[in-house]
């Protein structure tokens, strides 16, 4: 793996919903393959909108976006699903499949990737236990708490070791100990080569990955438009 290859490139990207002012303006930056990035900024700054551009739920109103070295703005729609399979996403609202158990939600990406039924139990059970839900394998999402649903969503996003992991406020519903455990999971995945982008308000989370870089959005613009990304503040030693 090259240390300097870009996995994501934005050039003069703007996003406008409807006819209003631009929600995102003049975004120009690149994310290194294998990097760990925190996306921060006040509520309404445009973090979720930027992530939607990244996981191709939204097309920009202007500008160029390259993902895995391909232009995804003009990419034909029928190629998008294949591309999305290379990305793990933790949505702010979880988006679990309602009629499937926690086990089957987490198993989904492996099934899509063609893993044999007999080979699912070990990784899925391991993942369930890592996120503290070993005893909830057969529970449907509606019977899980918000924090438990969030943990299933995270397990589902990471289980197939995506090339790019995108997480929107992934620790918003869990206590500090669980947040630590979950960020450890992202850390481990990143060390295996996955590029990680986490949008968060949680300052404590930032201190957990000292090597991470920060993208700071303010009113739809990058606070460091030079592309000189900063490292997060150092946390207390434990």
Ligand X SMILES: Nc1ncnc2c1ncn2[C@@H]1O[C@H](COP(=O)(O)OP(=O)(O)OP(=O)(O)O)[C@@H](O)[C@H]1O
**Between 101 and 171, CB nearer to ligand X:** 171
Closest CA to 157 of 193, 199, 110: 110
CB 159 within 8 A of CB 109: yes
Q: Which of 5, 12, 17, 86 is in the footprint of ligand X by CB under 6 A?
A: 17
**Between 28 and 48, CB nearer to ligand X:** 48
**Between 119 and 218, CB nearer to ligand X:** 218
Q: Which of 9, 11, 26, 48 is in the footprint of ligand X by CB under 6 A?
A: 48
Cα 52 to the chain's mean position, in Å? Answer: 10
By CB under 6 A, residue 19 contacts ligand X: no
Q: Which of 44, 146, 210, 225 is in the footprint of ligand X by CB under 6 A?
A: 44
**Min CB(44)–ligand X separation in Å:** 5
Reported for 226-229, long-range contacts at CB under 8 A and 24+ positions apart, including other chains, are 227/28, 227/29, 227/30, 229/29, 229/37
Cβ neighbours of 217 (radius 10 Å)? 21
Backbone phi, psi, residue 36, to 5°: -125, 120
**Min CB(69)–ligand X separation in Å:** 26
Residue labelled with tokens 């893993």 = 115
Q: Which of 2, 4, 19, 43 is in the footprint of ligand X by CB under 6 A?
A: 43
Q: Which of 34, 46, 141, 162 is in the footprint of ligand X by CB under 6 A?
A: 46
By CB under 6 A, residue 136 contacts ligand X: no
One-letter-per-residue 3-state SS of 217-232: EECCEECCCCCCCECC
Q: Which two tokens stand for residue 62?
A: 């202007």
Q: Which of residues 156-175 bind ligand X (CB under 6 A)?
A: none
**Between 34 and 46, CB nearer to ligand X:** 46
By CB under 6 A, residue 207 contacts ligand X: no
CB 197 within 8 A of CB 37: yes
Backbone phi, psi, residue 156, to 5°: -65, -40
Length of the chain: 238
By CB under 6 A, residue 59 contacts ligand X: no
By CB under 6 A, residue 49 contacts ligand X: yes
Binding site for ligand X (CB under 6 A): 17, 23, 41, 43-49
């Amino acid at each position: 793996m090259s240390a300097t290859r870009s996995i994501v490139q934005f050039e003069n990207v703007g996003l406008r919903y409807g006819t209003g002012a631009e929600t995102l303006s003049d975004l120009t930056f690149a994310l290194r393959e294998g990097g760990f990035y925190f996306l921060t900024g006040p509520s309404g700054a445009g973090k979720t909108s930027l992530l939607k551009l990244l996981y191709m739920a939204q097309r920009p109103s202007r500008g160029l976006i390259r993902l895995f070295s391909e232009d995804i703005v003009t990419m034909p729609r029928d190629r998008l699903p294949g591309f999305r399979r290379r990305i793990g996403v933790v949505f702010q609202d979880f988006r679990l499949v309602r009629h499937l158990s926690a086990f089957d939600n987490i198993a989904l990406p492996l099934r899509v990737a063609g893993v044999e039924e007999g080979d699912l139990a070990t990784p899925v059970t391991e993942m369930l236990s890592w996120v503290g839900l070993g005893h909830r394998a057969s529970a449907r999402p509606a019977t899980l708490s918000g924090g438990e649903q969030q943990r299933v969503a995270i397990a589902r996003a990471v289980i197939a070791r995506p090339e790019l992991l995108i997480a929107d406020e992934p620790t918003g519903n869990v206590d500090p100990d669980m947040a630590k455990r979950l960020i450890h999971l992202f850390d481990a995945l990143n060390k295996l080569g996955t590029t990680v982008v986490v949008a968060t308000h949680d300052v404590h989370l930032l201190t957990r990955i000292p090597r991470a870089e920060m993208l700071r959005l303010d009113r739809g613009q990058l606070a460091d438009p030079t592309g000189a990304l900063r490292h997060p503040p150092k946390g207390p030693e434990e």
